[in-house]
Structure 1
Amino acid sequence: MTIHDLTAPFAGQGLVQIGEVLLAFALASLIGLERQLRSKSAGIRTQTIVGTASALMLLVSKYGFSDVLLAGHVVLDPSRVAAQIVSGVGFLGAGLILTRRGAVRGLTTAASVWETAAIGMAAGTGLWLLALVVTALHFVVVFGYTALIRALPRSAESSLTLDVLYDSGRGVLPKVLTLVTASGWHVGRLVQQESDRDETTSVRLEVTGPRDSGMLLAQLGEVDGVRAVDPTAADDLE
């Protein structure tokens, strides 16, 4: 491609570049869909935006400044924007990581955002085969490795955060705590939440116990006076 070709009105905006952006959009959407279906904080919208925007920034870096090129005088490094994407998305991912009582949550979600940016960058530079391979490897990690981790002996127990809303003044909380411990779960922390109504109380329970929490949630929902139970899995690797 000559300097004249680069300075044409639609240089860098052809079918190839549009295809690269659409590829980044599709692959990032797949990763986002997986996050969304597993109720993670960075879902399909976040991942798709990060991947597509990364591809666009790479294309801007490659073609966006072609009108100022001058042979022998003005030379641009097309990799300069790529370096800024890496650091910028790293900052975004840091905001998804939570530390609670010494336990770190959200590492996989933050890493997936960083990975989505890399896939978008690969698609934006035309490395579509690498983008496809890394997308496939993402699903190997989140499904294959998750199953492996759960099969390990130290994964026999899971952590769960329960937001329980119940009627005030009816002695509901002792019943809830008794049921939790009787079901083989251990209460690590109990925090009372603010409630908009005087007749109800909301507490947050952090519990650890058997991997299957379905029975516990069903039993808590049947306790007289309990209005709602909102569970949140606290998997260290998610």
Structure 2
Amino acid sequence: MNLASSSTGTELLLLLFAFVLSMVIGVERQIRQKSAGVRTHTLVGTGAAVFTLISAFGFPSVLFGTDVNVDPSRIAAQIVSGVGFLGAGVIFMHRDMVRGLTTAATIWMTAAVGMACGAGMPVLAVAATALHLITVGPLARLTKYLPSPDRRKLITVRYVDGAGVLRAILATATSMGFEASVLRTEVHREDGRQQVRASMRFTGRTPLQSLVIALDDLEGVTGVQLADDDYD
């Protein structure tokens, strides 16, 4: 698709393409209740398309008849860098667990879709959107059946003794689809309270990082640590 002599109507059509495709990606993120949803992804994709359209078609008319050359790829490179900072805003750490990487990558992907639309390549933008939906949909479900390094991990939980915390731990794990087995417990005093240190093995399809964060938020739990499984 050659847009060297693109009309305003064509530019608006490309912008609409970017808006719709970015919104589709945002709806998928919203349904999965991620930190960045429809509005964020729609704005990122549409904004990237606007910047790309400006860089590709905005300056030649202004510089017509001059000897100044414009490199449209310079703005495209700045879009990639700018969106990288935006994506970093949805990544956070909780203890030694990192969350938000997939959402950050999705924001980056949405910007790429918007840039493809702005550059006059709607077919590529549609293909990229379809591949994104495949990656976070069927492919994500397929990876649940692949061998996971989590199967070689143990969770060590420290909690206050005699307060019913162990029941809450097991109930939380069960509600998240895990099967739990307690391998070893040690009782000790810490901060003037009797506490239990339990080494536990959890098996399930959900990443253990999610369980670690959930257990750490339970009342009576004083510490959660993910470690290698040395009991086999």
Superposed pair shares fold, TM > 0.5: yes
- Residue equivalent to 1:163: none
**Normalized against structure 1, the TM-score is what?**
0.63
* Structure 1 stretch displaced more, 26-35 or 66-75: 66-75
Residues 55-89 of structure 1: CA distance to partner in whole angstroms, max 9, x if unpaired? 00111112222343143522211222111000000
Distance in 2, matches of 1:186 and 1:22, equals 54
The counterpart of 2:117, out of the listed 112, 117, 123, is 123
SS in 2 for 1:39: coil
* Structure 1 stretch displaced more, 140-149 or 118-127: 140-149
| Offset at residue 174 of structure 1 (A) | 2.7
**Does 1:178 pair with 2:167?**
yes
The counterpart of 1:15, out of the listed 9, 16, 20, is 9
Q: Is the 8 A contact 1:21 1:52 kept in 2?
A: yes
* Structure 1 stretch displaced more, 19-28 or 141-150: 141-150
SS in 1 for 2:144: helix
SS in 1 for 2:35: coil
Percent of residue pairs bearing the same amino acid type? 46
Residues 86-132 of structure 1: CA distance to partner in whole angstroms, max 9, x if unpaired? 00001111111112222221111000000000000000111011001
The 1:177–1:62 alpha-carbon spacing in structure 2 relative to 1, beyond 3 Å, is same
The 1:130–1:212 alpha-carbon spacing in structure 2 relative to 1, beyond 3 Å, is closer
Q: Is the 8 A contact 1:55 1:124 kept in 2?
A: yes
SS in 2 for 1:74: coil
Q: Is the 8 A contact 1:28 1:52 kept in 2?
A: yes
Aligned AA for 1:178?
R
Residues 204-235 of structure 1: CA distance to partner in whole angstroms, max 9, x if unpaired? xxx9945489xxxxxxxxxxxxxxxxxxxxxx
**Normalized against structure 2, the TM-score is what?**
0.65
Aligned AA for 1:180?
I
Q: How many residues align?
A: 172
Q: Is the 8 A contact 2:144 2:205 kept in 1?
A: no
